[in-house]
Amino acid sequence: MSDPVIMIVGAGQMGNGIAQVAAAAGFQVLLHDVSPELIEQGVNAISSRLSRSVEKSKLAAQEKTETISRIHAVSSLEHAAGADVVIEAITENMEVKASLLRKLDVICPAHVIFASNTSALPITELAAATGRPSKVIGMHFMNPVPVMPLVEIIRGLETSQQVYDTAEELTRKMGKTPVEVNDFPGFVSNRILMPMINEAVYAVYEGVASVESVDRVMKLGMHHPMGPLELADFIGLDTCLSIMEILYEGFKDPKYRPCPLLRKYVKAGRLGKKSGRGFHHYAIGVK
């Protein structure tokens, strides 16, 4: 596939990270969100990361300029008509994602591929919201996107081999490593990671140990770079809860039941780093 135009829908942490690695790989990128302010925030986040890389001599100033020049802020979803691949990175909600795909299905020519960055939702169900299920695939990037090398590639029931091959090629061109997994709730990464985080929350909830002790045990004893509760804060407790609910609903297995403490924190607005408080405290605005 030669130089496809890639549109990213969703300029948040995941979306702007995908936009950055795509633009750095030489692709023309259209970046869209529901408001100009959110798009601007996404572009500014990309610029700030690239500037830090320049300051640390990990990136030439010219490379930063060229990368930014390939990212085009677009305020209308209609611009998707000019893309070859659309990657959605919006909120982790089936109906919201399906609604977006239905709109894109009307806007985009028949050749356009739809990729979802969902971290847990079934690709087959998302694909069924469109009239082109053979052209829908999962491309689950890891957070933070510019740093983490993995992309889970998930076929839906109808995904064509050509579309899979294209997604794998794009992933490699972005400097990432594609790993094919099957279409089950949570795929591999979150089916393993989220129950571990949920169990860490249960350890606090049941009084087994403090937040700090749980994180310290996993860092010092298991050599994890970050404790599970600190990681949950970084991911967002609302996102963790959403994924656990998807797992619980998808498998009907009580081992995936979200911890009541996790649910309580989300209802209280303690969402982790982005809100300033989760299991730990953070200064809002500090990257």
Q: Identify the CA nearest to 200 among candidates 159, 220, 230, 235.
A: 230
Task: Give the residue ranges of the annotated binding site for NAD(+).
Answer: 10-15, 33, 92, 97, 119, 143, 274
- Whole-number Cα distances in Å, 104 to 19, 66, 77, 88, 272: 18, 29, 8, 10, 32
Q: Is 180 a catalytic residue?
A: no
Task: Give the residue ranges of the annotated binding site.
Answer: 10-15, 33, 92, 97, 119, 143, 274
- Catalytic residue of the set 117, 119, 198, 275: 119
- Catalytic residue of the set 53, 79, 116, 140: 140
Q: Give me the helices (H) in the chain, please.
A: 13-24, 36-55, 61-69, 94-107, 123-127, 161-173, 189-205, 211-222, 228-235, 237-251, 260-267
Q: Is 93 a catalytic residue?
A: no
Q: Is 190 a catalytic residue?
A: yes
Cα 270 versus chain centre, distance: 20
- Catalytic residue of the set 190, 198, 242, 275: 190
Q: How far apart are CA 281 and CA 287, in angstroms?
A: 14
What residues contact 271, with CB distance under 8 A and at least 6 apart?
236, 237, 238, 265, 278
- Catalytic residue of the set 32, 88, 116, 152: 152
Helix (H, G, I), strand (E, B) or coil at 13: helix
Q: What is residue 135's DSSP assignment?
A: G
Q: Is 99 a catalytic residue?
A: no
State the catalytic residues.
119, 140, 152, 190
